[in-house]
Structure 1
């Protein structure tokens, strides 16, 4: 009797499992080596720092902690009315002393404005020239605060106007003597207020009692100042105004 083997034949056995792949080995870490900048690079970096600090210094405006208080005090100490009352009696005689007849000045301005300005006028920087002048003529039409004055001996196309109020404008009195400078004031506002203050003195001291609507046809003598814009139009601000009945 033949006995059977208990072992299975190779054909009956199941497939062998596939070999397991070995896990990948971790990549070697790269070692970072800190390198110091070269001497040339360090020099450039230092130069950049110096330039930046210098620029910051140039752009920095150092102010005294007391500057605002000082400026405010200076602004408060300037009194336009006081300036006008004190200064007008000083500049009015200067204008009278240096006044040029309009019959002489207007032709000079028509011929060469710059030469006439240098000879007869005053100005601050590159502003227009202002002139002290005299004029005698006949009162004409009234146009607001301006009285026309007919002056013999002037070109026919020349218009002469005299400020008779109540509004007195411009800076002719301030500028015509050359004694009042922008640098005498704290700022542009004070400089403008100085001109207005002098004009106010004209209204109260020169034109007090003048009735502009009664001046047509009367003989008028004026000493004053004007700022040159064109020789065809002259607008006088008077420091002396006399009417001959």
Structure 2
């Protein structure tokens, strides 16, 4: 009986000791957890050169052609150049290529842009974002291989869209000149959402070159 009581005492003491313990993840476990955390910037960087730019280069049509078709036959334009991941009131987003002349610039605000004439009439046809702040998520929304249901929630989806803007700004836009842009040529491939009637299309580039 004494031996049994002693054994019980040891087991009880061990259980109480465990109850007061705090289990701490090992360094390897902490690294694995960090590696598995949602990292939208890395997700975008990993596919940018291999998938994003090639897709847009292949999908995009000349801006004049895309915009004219969208105005006359939205279904045809959507099938050929557009994408809309979420249904409902979300606008179509179109892949396009711009080749024109800058006719106006706004480079003092964080959401800087240039207005571009693509048909030679010296009037702005499209507004090109040049960062650092970029409104909207046109680049994300133009990609048919980016699926909303692959993300846990709307917050991750929004963060992912923002990371496209962050990436293109760091890779391209922050290297652009900020003075004397009016009158210079510009070529870009990117995307824009269907604008409201009477509004300039808001174009976000994935590639861009400003000439003399």
Query: Taking structure 2 as the reference length, what is the TM-score of the superposition?
Result: 0.73
- The reply to whether residue 124 of structure 1 matches residue 85 of structure 2 is yes
For the 8 Å contact 1:172–1:226, the answer to whether it is kept is: yes
- The reply to whether residue 77 of structure 1 matches residue 44 of structure 2 is no
For the 8 Å contact 1:109–1:231, the answer to whether it is kept is: no
Specify which of 66, 73, 76 is matched with residue 115 of structure 1.
Answer: 76
Aligned to 2:25: none
Aligned to 1:163: 129
Task: Report the Cα offset of residue 116 of structure 1.
Answer: 1.6
For the 8 Å contact 2:132–2:174, the answer to whether it is kept is: no
Task: Report the Cα offset of residue 214 of structure 1.
Answer: 2.5
Aligned to 1:135: 98
Task: Report the Cα offset of residue 213 of structure 1.
Answer: 2.5
Aligned to 1:242: 209
Structure showing greater radius of gyration is: 1
Listed as ranges, the matches of 1:78-227 within 5 Å are: 78-89=38-49, 90-126=51-87, 127-143=90-106, 144=109, 145-152=112-119, 159-227=125-193
Listed as ranges, the matches of 1:28-107 within 5 Å are: 77-89=37-49, 90-107=51-68
Task: Report the Cα offset of residue 231 of structure 1.
Answer: 6.1
Task: Report the Cα offset of residue 168 of structure 1.
Answer: 1.4
Q: Gapped runs of 5+ residues in structure 1?
A: 1-72
Task: Report the Cα offset of residue 96 of structure 1.
Answer: 1.0
In structure 2, what is the Cα distance between the partners aligned to 1:182 and 1:153?
39
In structure 2, what is the Cα distance between the partners aligned to 1:87 and 1:192?
17
Task: Spell out, residue by residue over 1:120-147, the C-alpha distance to the aligned partner (whole angstroms, 9 max, x if none).
Answer: 2111132211111001111122234111
Q: Gapped runs of 5+ residues in structure 2?
A: 1-32
Task: Report the Cα offset of residue 195 of structure 1.
Answer: 0.7
Report the count of equivalent residues: 171
For the 8 Å contact 1:87–1:198, the answer to whether it is kept is: no
